[in-house]
Structure 1
Amino acid sequence: MRTTLGHDIASIAAGLGNESIHVWQLAYRRALLREPLRALLGVYLGLPVDAVAFVDDEHGRPELVSPWNQLLQFNWSHSVDRALIAVARDVRPGIDIERIRPRPRAMALAERFFHGSETAALSMLEEKRREHAFLELWTGKEAVLKALGRGLAFGLDRLHVNATPPGELLWLDGDDASQWQLHRLDVGADYAAGVAWRGPPRAIQLWTLADDS
């Protein structure tokens, strides 16, 4: 397996420590299900693909089975033809990606589900920028909820993300938002994406998996 720049993935995986988060961008094909995810995690764990097994928690988040879940944490998300995988040690990452497209009901959804301050900030933007900002907020909030181990049922209004760059987490119901890291990811003009975790800052290393890997 190699990156689009020809780097060996096993060498990259060997460099994952407690000071970084590895984020992988790859083509998504629904027919392959979780096989690309299993193959990548197998490289990190030094396991053959068929030895990488998952269990879904009560909120539907896939985790590695024991004892591998003590060594490596991950999260993944996909939208249309693109997927992202976040891999870390000693923190549980959350990641989300969404294809950018016209969303005429963005403000109606924000008014119904978002924190009031986020909705107010969106209303101040011109329409084209508002649709992009809505997705940046959505992916940021989803990333936090995934890292928290909760789904959308937790409530999108129970966290407040800055609607303008850098998009940090300002408030989280029942937790100290200052203990969280939230970053937007540059994955091209056609997508919005974010990654989050609870803990100290870490370097984010973004790689793209070659399609023939």
Structure 2
Amino acid sequence: MHAIDGFLPAKVAEPLHADEIHVWRLRRPKGAGREPLLALLAGYLGIASDEVRLVANEHGRPALDPLHGGVLDFNWSHSGEQALVALARGLAPGIDLEQRRTRANALEIAQRFFTAEEAGWLGTLDEAERRTAFLELWTAREAVLKALGRGLAFGLDRLAFRREAAGLVLQWLDGEDPAAWQLQPLDVGDDACAALAWRGAPRRIRRFALADATR
């Protein structure tokens, strides 16, 4: 079958080149656990899904067991019954997906965990704009922290973003050079918000969707 708008409606992993990051969108029904992720990783590794072995670092970030060669890295995020998986060679990607929903305390959360400048900017927006901007800031933070190999416990206030015409840019990250980082928003439709981050040079992002096996 042919690709449609950059998405492949088939369970086939194309070759992942060193200058690319592959981002897959797939269904993760309730109770599926890691099965959709393992099936996708198996396709890249050329093995059965029950042969895929994962490990976690001291902060809980999952990764492929070194027995798989230590070349391929991934990160994934799920919200509702959707999931995003980022795969790359030679770098650790971070990805976050969040369903859009009303958060009555979004500004309160921002004032507590974001920088004063970010919270101040959110405070100038109307409710609809604030909901979108909050999610953009949240997913950007999660993506960077996951690429860093740390979780939210690292501290949401230890990184900051500035808004430019093209979107959010990492302005400060404690202990890191923000200029060495890439941050890319991902269009996942009107019902969700997502971001991809990595430390390193720009790479081509290729996006795919996994066909629903029930169709």
TM-score computed with the length of structure 2 as normaliser:
0.92
Contact 1:143/1:196 (8 A) holds in 2: yes
What is the CA deviation profile of residues 101-147 of structure 1, one whole-angstrom value per residue up to 9, with x for unaligned ones?
Answer: 11110000000001122112211212210011101100010000000
Residue 68 of structure 1: how far off its partner (Å): 2.0
Runs of 4+ in 1 over 3 A off after TM superposition: 2-8
Q: Could you list the runs of 5+ residues in structure 1 that have no partner in the other structure?
A: none
**Which residue pairs with 1:176 in the alignment?**
177
Residue 7 of structure 1: how far off its partner (Å): 4.8
Aligned residues: 210
Q: Is residue 129 from structure 1 mapped to residue 129 from structure 2 by the alignment?
A: yes
**Which residue pairs with 2:186 in the alignment?**
185
Structure with greater proportional helix content: 1
Q: What is the alpha-carbon distance in structure 2 between the residues aligned to residue 146 and residue 156 of structure 1?
A: 12
Residue identity (%): 51
Contact 2:11/2:211 (8 A) holds in 1: no
Q: Is residue 92 from structure 1 mapped to residue 92 from structure 2 by the alignment?
A: yes
SS at match of 2:95: strand
Contact 2:10/2:211 (8 A) holds in 1: no
Contact 1:118/1:163 (8 A) holds in 2: no
Q: What is the alpha-carbon distance in structure 1 between the residues aligned to residue 140 and residue 68 of structure 2?
A: 27
**Which residue pairs with 2:67 in the alignment?**
67
Contact 1:122/1:163 (8 A) holds in 2: no
**Which residue pairs with 2:80 in the alignment?**
80
What is the CA deviation profile of residues 31-64 of structure 1, one whole-angstrom value per residue up to 9, with x for unaligned ones?
Answer: 1111111111111111111110111221111111
Sort the Cα spacing of 1:103 and 1:34 in 2 relative to 1 into closer, same or farther, 3 A. Answer: same
Q: What is the alpha-carbon distance in structure 2 between the residues aligned to residue 151 and residue 169 of structure 1?
A: 17
Contact 2:26/2:209 (8 A) holds in 1: yes
Q: Is residue 9 from structure 1 mapped to residue 16 from structure 2 by the alignment?
A: no
SS at match of 1:44: helix
Q: Could you list the runs of 5+ residues in structure 2 that have no partner in the other structure?
A: none
Residue 5 of structure 1: how far off its partner (Å): 4.3
Within a 5 Å distance, the mapping from 1:13-52 to structure 2 comes to 14=15, 16-52=16-52
Stretch moving more, 25-34 or 198-207: 25-34
Contact 1:133/1:163 (8 A) holds in 2: no
